[in-house]
Amino acid sequence: MEITKAIIPAAGMGTRFLPYTKAIPKEMLALLNKPAIQYIVEEGLNSNIKNFLMITGRHKQAIADHFDIAPELSQFLKEKNKLDLIQSIEKIIKAAEFTYIRQSEPLGLGHAVWMARHSIGKEYFGIMLPDDIISNKAPALGQLIQIAHQEKASVIAIQEVPNECVSSYGVISIKKQISGSLFQVGNLVEKPQQKDAPSNLAIIGRYVLSHKIFPALDEVSRYAVGELQLTDGISQMIKNNEKVFAYKVQGTRYDVGTPVGWVKAIIGLALQDPNYAPHIRDFISELHSTDVRLMSKSRNIFHHVA
CB of 275 to ligand UTP, least distance (A): 28
**Region near ligand UTP per CB under 6 A, out of 14-22, 142-150, 162-170, 215-223:** 14-22
CA distance 127 to 123: 13
Number of residues binding to ligand UTP, judged by CB under 6 A: 20
**Region near ligand UTP per CB under 6 A, out of 34-42, 101-109, 173-181, 194-202:** 101-109
CB-wise, 55 or 213, nearer to ligand UTP? Answer: 55
Instruction: Yes or no: say if 295 and 287 are a contact pair by the CB < 8 Å rule.
Output: no
CA distances from 133 to 44, 99, 124, 261 (A): 12, 21, 22, 10
Instruction: Yes or no: say if 239 and 186 are a contact pair by the CB < 8 Å rule.
Output: no
Q: Which H or E run contains 31?
A: strand 30-31
Q: Which of 273, 282, 257, 148 is nearest to 204 (CA)?
A: 257
CB-wise, 11 or 141, nearer to ligand UTP? Answer: 11
Choosing from 1, 2, 13, 281, the residue that interacts with ligand UTP (CB under 6 A) is 13
Residue 266 backbone dihedrals phi, psi, to 5 degrees: -60, -45
Widest pairwise Cα distance in the chain: 74
Could you say whether residue 12 binds ligand UTP (CB under 6 A)? yes
81-86, Cβ contacts within 8 angstroms, sequence gap of 24 or more: none
Residue ranges in 257-296 that form contacts with ligand UTP under rule CB under 6 A: 257
Residues with Cβ within 8 Å of residue 29, at least 6 apart in sequence: 17, 20, 35, 36, 256, 262
**Region near ligand UTP per CB under 6 A, out of 42-50, 107-115, 243-251, 264-272:** 107-115
CB of 229 to ligand UTP, least distance (A): 10
Could you say whether residue 55 binds ligand UTP (CB under 6 A)? yes
Could you say whether residue 230 binds ligand UTP (CB under 6 A)? no
Choosing from 83, 106, 135, 267, the residue that interacts with ligand UTP (CB under 6 A) is 106
Could you say whether residue 165 binds ligand UTP (CB under 6 A)? no
Does residue 278 have a cis peptide bond before it, meaning omega lies within 30 degrees of 0? no
Choosing from 41, 89, 129, 171, the residue that interacts with ligand UTP (CB under 6 A) is 129
CB-wise, 256 or 270, nearer to ligand UTP? Answer: 256
Binding site for ligand UTP (CB under 6 A): 9-16, 55, 103, 106-109, 111-112, 129-131, 257
